[in-house]
Amino acid sequence: MSDGPSVPALTLDGLLRRAAERFPERVAVRDEHGALRYAELDAYADRFARALRRLTGGRRTAVGVAGVLDTVFAAGFYGTSRSGNRVVLVNPLVREAALEHIFHTAGIEIALVPARTAERLQTVRGRLPDLREVYVVDADRAEGAPEGTRPLAELLGPDGPSMAGLSGTAAADSDSVACVQFTSGTTGPPKGVQLTHRNLVTNAAQAAYALGLDADCVCLNHLPLYHLMHLNAAVYAGATQVLCHDPDPVASFAAAADAGATHYFGLPVRLTRLAADQRLTAISPAPTLRLIASGGSALAPAVADRLREQLGVPVIQGYGLAELSPLSHNDRPERSRPGSVGPVVPGTECRIVDLDTGADLGTGLPGEVLLRGPQLMAGYLGLPDAPDIDPDGWFHTGDVGYEDADGWLFLVDRIKDVFKVDNELVSPSEIERILMQDALVADCVVADLPDEFSGAVVWAGIVTAGDGPADLRLVVTRANARLADHQQIRRAEQLTAVPRSPNGKAERRRLREWLRSSEPHQPFRTGEPSW
């Protein structure tokens, strides 16, 4: 465990107030629609706080805030915290069933979401008695607010006086829950990770320290969604964030050069595509660029090497989980080790233990990764005892890895069944439940099929009902209509039986071994049989 950076005794939104007081004229966030200086972003958050206090009458409640890659998320996120309400992060990419679960479990009363998410919410709103109001954050850019919802302008109203006296000072309630972030489980529905003010402020300081962020830095976010770590770490440091919406990785580096970026944050799937792109050799990175940081899932060492060789800057990756606010490890640009996620961030402890006995293992020996630190969650929403935290406060990640002699962590496997497609978590059991509702399906199992660009795609093994083969394309089409893009079944195969252990659990490890040893699978393309 290393010494930690200075962590201010602030509420979550106090990070923004602190930055506005220190760097009022510095650009906080900008995109193609414009820029907000720190003083302006702070005032924007004030408008959210006033509006939400007026709407709730000062009563504390849950506000669903969609993580759109837009300045409105930053203002809505900090403004909700400033109003005294609890932020519930909403992934705008998920479909109706997941939205219903999140909103019902968290008791969300007010939603701040884009038009597409609002439309999906309307189809399940009758089953969400707690949901009072849905405000559409992009109504001025989309076709408008769907029926039964309101444009954001109706919530915010005209600008008003500052709420400077309500936040930004030492917080007596720093251990209260500020934010709930839902994450996929291994066998059941997503769980709500409860993160306190202290968790998030601490991790902002840890991440800024590990990434070398300060007030002179410019961070290019080439991401589909706004990630809490990038937002909070940059605001802690007083850095500028540039939001790049163009999915083309080559265009993103042009944007980074135009912005004078010092840090480039990207996803493994996009960086992998960039490494294979013939245009890579024509990229002229900004002379200010210090590093390329990848996160969310593993980046292949060969990809990192290719980008490092061509672009001339370190390419590093980190590791974390929602339960850790999220960062626990980050590679060091000055000592980067291919394939590693680096050492722990300051103030964090890591152990590698035997999968069967729980005994500590030595250097180079793979075992389960256990973590402990001040950024560890307060627990899961609605679960009195977090099953993954032992009596000594160690969080059992479900990941398998080993440490080298200097404490750099290398991840080699997963115990848990969830996996990532294009950086979005996929729960096999969630897809299996949808498949089992089809009359043509007698049994099924879902696993991850390796994919060069997405990291993995969804594979489904299906035991059909009745005699003879069924049309799996029809089954897949019906299931995919109810699934988000990253959950889409890309390959399906008919099985005579699902391999299960004596206690009835699907043997996914055995399936993964089979999938990796068989001939390469082509991804399923709508309308074309691939089985």
The pLDDT assigned to 161 comes to 61
What are the tens digits of pLDDT across the range 11-52?
A: 999 999 999 999 999 999 999 999 999 999 999 999 999 999
pLDDT band at 221 (very low <50, low <70, confident <90, very high): very high
pLDDT greater than 50 at residue 389: yes
List C-alpha distances in Å: 211 to 239, 294, 492.
12, 12, 41
Q: How many CB atoms lie within 10 A of CB 161?
A: 8
The pLDDT assigned to 190 comes to 83
Cβ atoms of 67 and 55 closer than 8 Å: no
Residue entry with tokens 């650009």: 27
The pLDDT assigned to 515 comes to 87
Cβ atoms of 307 and 315 closer than 8 Å: yes
pLDDT band at 531 (very low <50, low <70, confident <90, very high): very low
pLDDT band at 163 (very low <50, low <70, confident <90, very high): low
Min mean pLDDT across 164-178, 299-313, 339-353, 418-432 is at 164-178
pLDDT band at 503 (very low <50, low <70, confident <90, very high): low
The pLDDT assigned to 427 comes to 81
Cβ atoms of 426 and 434 closer than 8 Å: no
pLDDT greater than 70 at residue 319: yes
List C-alpha distances in Å: 458 to 111, 418, 491.
30, 11, 7
What are the tens digits of pLDDT across the range 250-263?
A: 999 999 999 999 99
Domain ranges of the chain: 29-159+177-186, 419-517
pLDDT greater than 80 at residue 502: no
**Mean of the pLDDT values across residues 352-358?**
91
How does 61-84 read in b/e, with b if 16+ C-beta sit within 10 Å?
bbbbbbbbbbbbbbbbbbbbbbbb
The pLDDT assigned to 144 comes to 79
Max mean pLDDT among 4-8, 342-346, 426-430, 465-469 falls in 342-346
**DSSP character string of 94-109:** --HHHHHHHHHHHTEE
The pLDDT assigned to 171 comes to 45
Nearest CA to 425 out of 401, 399, 456 is that of 456
DSSP 8-state assignment for residue 291? E
Q: Rounded to two decimals, what is the model's pTM? A: 0.85
pLDDT greater than 90 at residue 231: yes
Cβ atoms of 232 and 221 closer than 8 Å: no
CA distance 125 to 120: 9
pLDDT band at 298 (very low <50, low <70, confident <90, very high): confident
Max mean pLDDT among 19-23, 94-98, 146-150, 301-305 falls in 19-23
Q: What angle do CA 445, 451, 453 make, to 5 degrees?
A: 140
Amino acid at site 527? G
The pLDDT assigned to 266 comes to 96
Min mean pLDDT across 294-298, 321-325, 491-495 is at 294-298
Fold of the domain spanning 29-159+177-186: Rossmann fold (3.40.50)
Long-range CB pairs of 93-97 (<8 Å, 24+ gap) are 93/224, 93/225, 93/424, 93/484, 93/485, 93/486, 94/484, 95/120, 95/482, 95/483, 95/484, 95/487, 96/120, 96/121, 96/123, 96/124, 96/482, 97/124, 97/430, 97/434, 97/482
What are the tens digits of pLDDT across the range 121-142?
A: 999 999 999 999 999 999 887 7
Fold of the domain spanning 419-517: GMP Synthetase; Chain A, domain 3 (3.30.300)
Residue 339: partners with Cβ closer than 8 Å, 6 or more residues away:
301, 410
